[in-house]
Amino acid sequence: MGTSHAVFIAPGDDQLDQPRAELRFFTSEGELPACGHGTVAALAFLAERAQRTEYRATLVTPGRSVAGEARRQRNQIVATFDPGEVQLREATAGERRLALDALGRHPEIITSDICVAAIGRPRLLVPIASRSALAGVTLDYDRLQAGCDRLGLLGCYLHSVPGADGRLAARMFAPSIGVREDIANANSAACLAAKLGRHGVSRLTVDMGDSLGQPATVTATAKPHGAKIQIRVGGTAEVRGTVLSSFRA
């Protein structure tokens, strides 16, 4: 069907005020513990199925439960959810070297600010100075895949520096799950929001997919909550249609 990911949904009772639904996520390489844009898609599908303008649900994934909500805007659905706690740490020398080598040691990469973040699985967060530099990066995919497999990383989230309004661009390369480049990656946006939220950035608008000719936008907010940063992430989805298949035993 030409998709990089699939989310399988076991819907609950739509008549409840806040129904529960079970989700599992897959790529061609196997099952994922979490998938941000898959969660947005699932919320859009469930809201469409329930025929509600405002929709809230508890989404049960293999690792945790997620509180999500969706609202209809004309023929599209805006969905947001709580991705859970983000784990952040400094990158090791070997992880920094992997990022630099795989990205052609681009001179505008901000080496000192490379870190590792995890929701479900860890990934490199790599800042680059400008959108034009981001667009011009040449990736050594085989080197990145070998290094990520060796170090137990999901991939590399390369992002420009946000402007005063919190807008930036990003590209996500995820070789360990068989995705050369992601059109959108909400969990990585949540990771970046958690990182920048420590420095007073409260909202991000992330443009992705331009290099693939399929532009997408992910939003994320960061709010101090005691000693932690509370993250909300989401995007706008459109239910394009339904494919019906018949199976014969």
Its CATH architecture, for the domain 6-83, is Roll (3.10)
pLDDT for the residue numbered 225: 77
Cβ–Cβ < 8 Å for 36, 1: no
pLDDT for the residue numbered 131: 96
pLDDT for the residue numbered 246: 60
pLDDT for the residue numbered 6: 92
pLDDT for the residue numbered 228: 83
Q: What are the extents of the domains in the chain?
A: 6-83, 87-220
Give me the average pLDDT of each 10-residue run along the chain (249 residues): 86 79 91 88 92 92 88 91 93 97 96 94 96 95 96 96 96 91 93 94 96 93 86 91 64
Nearest to 85 by CA among 187, 235, 201: 187
pLDDT for the residue numbered 91: 98
pLDDT for the residue numbered 4: 81
Task: Give the pTM.
Answer: 0.86
Nearest to 84 by CA among 101, 103, 96, 67: 67
CATH annotation of 87-220: 3.10.310.10
